[in-house]
Amino acid sequence: MKRDVSAVDLQVHGIVQGVGFRPFVYRLAQKAEVAGTVSNTSSGVNIHVEGPQGRIDTFRSGLNHSSPPLAHITDIEETPAAPCGLEDFRILPSRGDTRSATFISPDVSVCEACLEEMRNSADRRFRYPFINCTHCGPRYTLIEQIPYDRPNTAMKIFTMCPRCQSEYDDPASRRFHAQPNACPDCGPRVSLLDGQGRPVPGDPVQRTISLLEQGALVAIKGLGGFHLAVDAQNDGAVKTLRQRKQRPHKPLALMSPSLAAVARYARVSAREAALLTGRQRPIVLLEKHTEFPLSDEVAPGNRYIGVMLPYTPLHHLLLESTFTALVMTSGNRTGEPLCIDNEAALSALGGIADYFLMHDRPIYQRNDDSLVQVTDTGPHFIRRARGYVPMPIALTRPLPPTLACGAELKSTVCLARDETAFVSQHIGDLEAAATLDFFESTIAHLKKVTGIDPQLLVHDLHPDYLSSRYALAVPGIQRIGVQHHHAHVVSCMAEQGIDGPVIGLALDGTGLGPDGTLWGGEALIAERARFTRAAHLAPVPMPGGEAAIREPWRMAVSYLHHGFGEALFSLENLPLFREIDRQRCRWVLELISKGINAPLTSSAGRLFDGVAALCGLIYRISFEGQAAMILEAMAGDDAGDTKTPYEWASVRQGDEREIQIAPLIRQVAMDLATGVRPEEVSRRFHGTLIRMWGDLCVDLRRETGLDHVVMSGGVFQNRCLAAGLSAYLTRLGFRVHTHGKVPANDGGLSLGQAVIAGALAA
């Protein structure tokens, strides 16, 4: 009955390569009893099917509804075709064509089926640390270019043995076209070296476990880079790690064998458990139990602790022993990016690690662990990297091929084209030369794997950021500079799929405003292509510029001067003055009065710093956000209590409102000088900010009619503030939008930059 046969060509876009998609299509075709072909192309997967229309329909609906776990279909183009008289269904070899638009899967954790094999003494991959299949394992970090075929990956140096090859060639196998497929006979191997690079005899994994048990510090090569590991119960070992890494306070991440082990030292909600056990395996911030059975040195003075579960087979082998938790912190020297090469690790970490657990599978792209916290408004990224990058972010409007270069701290870049944006993994603070190299290699890598050749370059308005300098040095390309806080707000709008206009609250450290001052406590009326500054915190000097960021006591003096003028010295009982004497205050006041390196800032982040120092909680920080974290921890659970806020005033100046914070500072100082405890001050301070920004939005709604509020900027990593303000705004009848796909901090900025520039260029 030839007449009844129809045919159709399907071009499937999205993450459809290296995830078992073609065998899935093959099985689907067999089930639906249609003939045809399937092949990889550089723009996705091409399917031709023919048969009676009803069977084609069955096939078509299966394609949408039962795809493999790692697949992510963004679009299916369907064109009618002529039947070719095919009798069966076949998988054809890959085809190269001109435009590349295939999406690559992120690196994901080892699957249960592979783990079962690894634990089975009869399996040929028993205890093999590199077991993987099409449903699991490395992707983004080992791809050199697309199409995703073995010769284009770090696996090209390993020739598959006949048994691996036959799995690779068999559509019925879980390892059909699994590019990293390997076994103990043909694949990568681990080795253990001492601090001088000499091989250590014995089974590398067993030896590593016993060395860790004895308190040694071991650098362990993973998926996207090295970790530095010690036993988290060994106080002395954790202290040594802190000393050698010169990281005195910043919390260290932990890895535990199971949820049950985590529950011994931290509280885990159902949503947190789902994140911990999901295949992306991020580090999740959990609340410590008051009785904390691990070393206090892991996260000193902190309510929360970052925890992840094992995600590579090697991690599972290491943790199946006796450890409740290992510290697994990034294997880098402070200020430098993660080590990925064996040689580089031996030299960079030589003075830090006692031993090195290495392997010979190269890492092409560095990729840190992702870091997530769960609040009432959902999971929020603090760092987005392994497990999530390069998942595409869908946009509401098409963009020209665009590269956005981000800001300076917690840098990421974004490549976008049409309705899709790819935000890179966390690159780090663009201050060291090595980080700049990483920045440039990330751009090159992302260009290769997305096939996007940018025609438009976007940078922050700050001309001194290394990312801006990079953009300004590229010749012969259209360039657009974007204001920092506009980019924050649009970043959130873009990922949440809204075009605006909105009321955008951008609270962060600092970013350059068009007026030359440093912004950071801003309410903008924002659309994609434009914004107006509707309100901001009153600007105060930052005495010493960057030094005032590292030394919050300088901000405290500046705010006191803002609130009291010369009368600040009458506040004798202020906790700040226990540490900071008159002479140093005078010296800071001189910087302010002479205007020497004392730029004005309306930053909300600096206000947190200043209040923390006024409370006598901290005077100097060793990592970004430390002061605000300590102040937040003081507030405890009921910071949302807005019954007794401090005073402030919102004063119109032309089209802008300035939020007067002098009354707030005066009351905070008077409270502290009269012996009110910092806990109470912190609660009232948080409550005040919630009321301040919430009530401001009511004023702005009255004037503009807008009732959508976007919250962005690093200050919203503060759970008290973010949850409290979001709840207050919701009670006031606003539609509140927060970040869910990229970080609220500067790590999300590149997405907003790309969307703004695209809108301006259109």
With CB under 5 A as the contact rule, the residue among 10, 746, 756, 757 that binds Fe ion is: 746
460 touches Fe ion (CB under 5 A): no
Which stretch in 497-505, 613-621, 631-639, 743-751 sits in contact with Fe ion by CB under 5 A?
Answer: 743-751
Least distance in angstroms from the C-beta of 559 to Zn ion? 55
- Pick the closer one to Fe ion by CB: 20 or 625: 625
* DSSP β-ladder status, 72-81 and 218-221: unpaired
Is the four-CA dihedral 710, 712, 717, 720 of positive or negative sign?
negative
171 binds, among Zn ion, Fe ion, none (CB under 5 to 8 A by kind): none
Our measurement of the distance from residue 402's CA atom to the centroid of its chain's CA atoms, rounded to an integer in Å, reads 21
Our measurement of the distance from residue 635's CA atom to the centroid of its chain's CA atoms, rounded to an integer in Å, reads 26
111 binds, among Zn ion, Fe ion, none (CB under 5 to 8 A by kind): Zn ion
Are 569 and 585 within 8 A, CB to CB?
Answer: yes
- Pick the closer one to Zn ion by CB: 182 or 363: 182
- Pick the closer one to Zn ion by CB: 136 or 696: 136
Name the residue number minimizing CB distance to Fe ion: 508
Is the four-CA dihedral 78, 82, 83, 86 of positive or negative sign?
negative
- Pick the closer one to Zn ion by CB: 161 or 676: 161
508 binds, among Zn ion, Fe ion, none (CB under 5 to 8 A by kind): Fe ion
3-class DSSP state of 534: strand
Please give the Cα distance from 502 to 526 (Å, whole number).
5
3-class DSSP state of 308: strand
Site string (687-706) toward Zn ion, x via CB under 5 A: --------------------
- C-alpha to C-alpha distances, 2 to 7, 51, 185, 311, nearest whole angstrom: 12, 9, 51, 52
447 binds, among Zn ion, Fe ion, none (CB under 5 to 8 A by kind): none
- Number of residues near Zn ion (by CB under 5 A): 10
Least distance in angstroms from the C-beta of 37 to Fe ion? 50
Does the bond joining 543 to the residue before it have cis omega, within 30 degrees of 0?
A: no
- Pick the closer one to Zn ion by CB: 108 or 720: 108
Please give the Cα distance from 685 to 612 (Å, whole number).
10
With CB under 5 A as the contact rule, the residue among 76, 86, 91, 161 that binds Zn ion is: 161
- Closest alpha carbon to 104 in 413, 367, 448: 448
- Pick the closer one to Fe ion by CB: 511 or 541: 511
Q: Mind spelling out the 3-state secondary structure of 393-410?
A: EEEEEEEEEEEECCCCCC
757 binds, among Zn ion, Fe ion, none (CB under 5 to 8 A by kind): none
Least distance in angstroms from the C-beta of 67 to Zn ion? 17
Least distance in angstroms from the C-beta of 194 to Fe ion? 43
With CB under 5 A as the contact rule, the residue among 183, 389, 507, 523 that binds Zn ion is: 183
Scanning the structure block, which residue is given the tokens 């031996």? 346
- Pick the closer one to Zn ion by CB: 166 or 347: 166
- C-alpha to C-alpha distances, 743 to 83, 115, 159, 715, nearest whole angstrom: 49, 32, 40, 11
Backbone phi, psi, residue 714, to 5°: -60, -25
- Pick the closer one to Fe ion by CB: 25 or 755: 755
- Pick the closer one to Zn ion by CB: 68 or 379: 68
- Pick the closer one to Zn ion by CB: 140 or 304: 140
With CB under 5 A as the contact rule, the residue among 114, 262, 353, 585 that binds Zn ion is: 114
Least distance in angstroms from the C-beta of 255 to Zn ion? 20
Which stretch in 351-359, 571-579, 646-654, 740-748 sits in contact with Fe ion by CB under 5 A?
Answer: 740-748
Q: Which helix (H) or strand (E) holds 50?
A: strand 44-52
Least distance in angstroms from the C-beta of 492 to Fe ion? 12
- Checking 515-520 for CB contacts under 8 A at 24+ apart, the result is 517/599, 517/600, 517/601, 517/602, 518/542, 518/599, 518/600, 518/601, 518/602, 518/603, 519/484, 519/485, 519/601, 519/602, 519/603, 520/485, 520/601, 520/602, 520/603, 520/604, 520/605, 520/606, 520/713, 520/715
With CB under 5 A as the contact rule, the residue among 76, 81, 86, 186 that binds Zn ion is: 186
451 binds, among Fe ion, Zn ion, none (CB under 5 to 8 A by kind): none
746 binds, among Zn ion, Fe ion, none (CB under 5 to 8 A by kind): Fe ion
- Closest alpha carbon to 255 in 317, 165, 338: 317
Least distance in angstroms from the C-beta of 23 to Zn ion? 14
- Pick the closer one to Zn ion by CB: 112 or 437: 112
Which stretch in 164-172, 533-541, 661-669, 674-682 sits in contact with Zn ion by CB under 5 A?
Answer: 164-172
Please give the Cα distance from 689 to 595 (Å, whole number).
29
How many Cα atoms occupy the beta-carbon half-sphere of 569 within 13 Å? 8
297 binds, among Fe ion, Zn ion, none (CB under 5 to 8 A by kind): none
- Pick the closer one to Zn ion by CB: 135 or 462: 135
Least distance in angstroms from the C-beta of 746 to Fe ion? 4
Between residue 495 and residue 534, which ones bind Fe ion under the rule CB under 5 A? Answer: 508, 511
* DSSP β-ladder status, 190-194 and 540-541: unpaired
Between residue 93 and residue 112, which ones bind Zn ion under the rule CB under 5 A? Answer: 111
Between residue 120 and residue 139, which ones bind Zn ion under the rule CB under 5 A? Answer: 133, 135-136
Least distance in angstroms from the C-beta of 164 to Zn ion? 3
Please give the Cα distance from 193 to 364 (Å, whole number).
22
DSSP 473-530: HS-SSEEEEE-HHHHHHHHHHHHTT----EEEEEEEEEEE-TTSSEEEEEEEEE-SS-
Please give the Cα distance from 46 to 92 (Å, whole number).
10
Tokens read off for 589:
């006041």
- Pick the closer one to Zn ion by CB: 186 or 263: 186
Q: 198: buried, middle or exposed (CB in 10 Å: 19+, 13-18, 0-12)?
A: exposed
- Pick the closer one to Fe ion by CB: 67 or 603: 603
164 binds, among Zn ion, Fe ion, none (CB under 5 to 8 A by kind): Zn ion
154 binds, among Fe ion, Zn ion, none (CB under 5 to 8 A by kind): none
Is the four-CA dihedral 625, 628, 631, 637 of positive or negative sign?
negative
Least distance in angstroms from the C-beta of 655 to Zn ion? 58
Least distance in angstroms from the C-beta of 136 to Zn ion? 3
Helix then strand count (H, E) for the chain reads 23, 29
183 binds, among Zn ion, Fe ion, none (CB under 5 to 8 A by kind): Zn ion
Site string (370-409) toward Zn ion, x via CB under 5 A: ----------------------------------------
* DSSP single-letter state for residue 420: E
78 touches Zn ion (CB under 5 A): no
Report the chain's terminal Cα–Cα distance, integer Å.
53
With CB under 5 A as the contact rule, the residue among 33, 77, 88, 185 that binds Zn ion is: 185
Least distance in angstroms from the C-beta of 359 to Zn ion? 16
Least distance in angstroms from the C-beta of 130 to Zn ion? 10
114 binds, among Zn ion, Fe ion, none (CB under 5 to 8 A by kind): Zn ion
Angle (CA) 9-15-18 rounded to 5° is 95
Between residue 672 and residue 711, which ones bind Fe ion under the rule CB under 5 A? Answer: none
- Pick the closer one to Zn ion by CB: 106 or 544: 106
Rg (the chain; Cα; Å): 28
Least distance in angstroms from the C-beta of 160 to Zn ion? 6
408 binds, among Zn ion, Fe ion, none (CB under 5 to 8 A by kind): none
Scanning the structure block, which residue is given the tokens 């048969």? 51
Which residues of the shown chain bind Zn ion in the complex (CB under 5 A)? 111, 114, 133, 135-136, 161, 164, 183, 185-186
Which residues of the shown chain bind Fe ion in the complex (CB under 5 A)? 508, 511, 746
